[in-house]
Amino acid sequence: MSDVLEQLRQRLETQLEFIYRDIATVSDYPGIAEALISAMGLNEKAYEMSEPVAYQNHWSQQDVVLITYGDSLEKRRSRSSQQACLSGEQEYGFSDMDGDVGLAEKPLKTLKRFLDERCKEVINSVHILPFYPYSSDDGFAVINYSAVNESLGGWPDINAIAEDYRLMADLVINHCSSRSIWFDNFIKGEGPGHDFFFTADPEADTSKVVRPRTSPLLKEVETANGTQHVWCTFSHDQVDFDFTNPKVLIEFVWIIRLYLDNGVRLFRMDAVAFLWKILGTSCLNLEETHEVVRLLRSLIEHAQPDAVIITETNIPNRENLAYFGNANEAHCVYNFSLPPLLVNTLVTGSCHYLKQWMMSMPPAQHGTAYFNFIASHDGIGLRPAEGLLEDQELNTLISTMQSFGGRVSMRALDDGQNKPYEINISLFDALQGTTKGPDRWALDRFICAHAIMLALEGIPGVYIHSLLGTRNDYDKLKHTNHNRSINRHRWDVEALEESLDDPLNDHHKVFHRIKALLKIRTRQQAFHPNATQFTLHLGDQLFGFWRQSMDRRQSIFCIYNISDEPQPLALSEVNLIGLDRWHELISGEEITDLAQEMMLAPYQALWITNMLDS
């Protein structure tokens, strides 16, 4: 037996003893550890393994993640082709080869081609949101973790994307679909998965439980073993797993192994903060949850040293940061406070709160990084702004977003009241104006937001609908009656490409301006996710920070006018070193007079550096 494998086994046993210390029925820690090692396939490669290198960065300034659904882009048949397929099926009995007469090919193939033809020079990673068979929540109620949704494609399509891009996939670890075979077996009281789900007495005190929804927590289910009340953190179609049963943990390690074998290298642990439940507590961020993440990290990094765990925890900032652990838990955490703070900054014209937050954020240790995003398939979370924005500021933000066509989703409090949980709106519409109303600066404001996000310490994640400048989808919202649908548009790829090729079209302008920023970003060592960052103090209308490369050779001063009025910038206040030659990266202009006062147009961004194309 290799020394590395034996050390891992001992570590797993220690972690398991901590996780299950209060579970009387669990005591076979060596047996569970061996089952986990077997599920990850580590026995077969025991003598190839080496101890993972601590504090190692698995990323660089070249890493940019595109976030997309597998079917955000669709190649649709012409109306005549659709009619021909329908006629053929009716007359001759054959079915459409793609399973949908409206599509000319599987969406994962469409996505791959779009990435290759339009994005490859600036995007090296792609997060495909849940691509498994599902029953609701656009993929997050998983029916089968081991399959690819046939309407999207198959494992070969996933493999093809993973060959050319670093692939990020969701590990939907807190819950699964009520239509899964596991839940069917729970109802039958026998078979695989029959004991995978968390139940509770409806008379138990659950008043402290923190949830992101307003639906009842428990779902009454008739089973072969009588009436059961199943825990449902999110919806009654999303039933929570019971991780006090070690078989659930072992099953998820099998799933992780399958994903690794199919090219997944970035694991987004969906809703992981809710994983462990103890009655009488908040059932959020419990220490057992953190230990499970550490245990999965131990297994993953031994199996695939360059794999990365990213925790998705839409919670207040301090609790979110705890998932870094001591650089031994998540490699990356979603920077959930950034979207509400940045949108608030740009619609109010003041960076006061954003700057306060920036100064309070600890630099990520080597081996960890922030995952920065300003738009996603979900909404603009409001819990991460708790303690960072005052109530009046939040109320103004919400009312402004509603005036721009946004919706507000609620969560239940322990006193029976409901409270705003997230704002649902496309980012382009969210930034169409200020608290004063829509204005003519929408495009520049939108690009400014991305120029800020792309320069910040961390790895940037760009939502496909931000890259394309997609607007609110009211038709989909009306069809689903689900607030999040407003920002989950499905593009006809041919119509999209016509827009992207038209220089007068806003989609073209957004796409090419963001790509131009990405091309610059990926060449700058000072934009490494772990490069030094300091906040500049330039007043409330100019937001700025300084980045310095880890070898200290390159500096970039990132300065933004976040208001709808021109703002003066005295370069003497920025403290540019006179011995260096300074250039502004976005315009490409050289700065020769370090004593000059520049006038920044509304929402203008400056990236001032002492080195070009480092």
User: What angle (nearest 5°) sits at the alpha carbon of residue 543, between those of residues 361 and 356?
Assistant: 35
Single-letter residue type at 334: Y
Helix (H) or strand (E) holding 128: strand 125-128
pLDDT of residue 383: 94
Q: Which two tokens stand for residue 390?
A: 């005052």
Cβ neighbourhood burial of 90 (10 Å; 0-12, 13-18, 19+): exposed
What pLDDT, in 10s, does the model give residues 141-177? 999 999 999 999 999 999 999 999 999 999 999 999 9
Residue reference for tokens 């109802």: 187
pLDDT category of residue 88 using cuts at 50, 70 and 90: very low
pLDDT of residue 84: 53
Furthest C-alpha separation in the chain: 81
Residue reference for tokens 């669709």: 74
pLDDT of residue 1: 55
Cα 223 off chain centre by: 36
Q: Could you give all domains of the chain from N- to C-terminal order, each with its CATH number?
A: 532-609 (2.60.40.1180)
Check whether 359 has a pLDDT greater than 50.
yes
pLDDT of residue 44: 85
Check whether 400 has a pLDDT greater than 90.
yes
Residues 365-388 have a mean pLDDT of 96
Q: What's the CA gap between 293 and 307, in Å, rounded?
A: 14
pLDDT of residue 462: 98
Residue reference for tokens 């994903």: 259
pTM here?
Answer: 0.95
Cβ neighbourhood burial of 9 (10 Å; 0-12, 13-18, 19+): middle
Q: Which two tokens stand for residue 487?
A: 């920002």
Residue by residue, DSSP assigns 45-84 as TGGG--PPPTT-----TT--EEEE-TTSEE-BPPHHHHHH
Q: Which residues are catalytic?
A: 270
pLDDT category of residue 97 using cuts at 50, 70 and 90: very low
Q: Which two tokens stand for residue 287?
A: 């220490």
Cα 269 off chain centre by: 9
pLDDT of residue 68: 98
CA dihedral 384→390→394→396, nearest 10 degrees, is -160
CA dihedral 274→277→283→287, nearest 10 degrees, is -80
Contact 116, 160 (CB under 8 A): no
How much of the chain, in percent, has pLDDT values that exceed 70?
Answer: 96
Q: What's the CA gap between 255 and 146, in Å, rounded?
A: 7
Check whether 473 has a pLDDT greater than 90.
yes
What pLDDT, in 10s, does the model give residues 195-221? 999 999 999 999 999 999 999 999 999
How much of the chain, in percent, has pLDDT values that exceed 90?
Answer: 90
Contact 314, 268 (CB under 8 A): no
Q: What's the CA gap between 461 and 134, in Å, rounded?
A: 24
Q: What's the CA gap between 347 and 382, in Å, rounded?
A: 16
Contact 354, 341 (CB under 8 A): yes
Q: Which two tokens stand for residue 56?
A: 């190692």
Q: What's the CA gap between 116 and 358, in Å, rounded?
A: 36
Q: What's the CA gap between 175 and 275, in Å, rounded?
A: 8
H helices of 165-267, where? 181-188, 246-261
Q: What's the CA gap between 17 and 220, in Å, rounded?
A: 33
Q: Which two tokens stand for residue 570?
A: 């005295």
Q: What's the CA gap between 268 and 143, in Å, rounded?
A: 18
Check whether 595 has a pLDDT greater than 50.
yes
pLDDT of residue 614: 52
What pLDDT, in 10s, does the model give residues 555-578? 999 999 999 999 999 998 898 887
Cα 400 off chain centre by: 25
SS3 of residue 286 by DSSP: coil
Taking CA atoms, 24 is separated from 53, 176, 244, 457, in Å, by 36, 26, 10, 45
Q: What's the CA gap between 234 and 215, in Å, rounded?
A: 8
Q: Positive or negative CA dihedral for 431, 434, 438, 443? A: negative
SS3 of residue 164 by DSSP: helix
Check whether 99 has a pLDDT greater than 50.
no
What pLDDT, in 10s, does the model give residues 114-127? 999 999 999 999 99
pLDDT of residue 85: 52
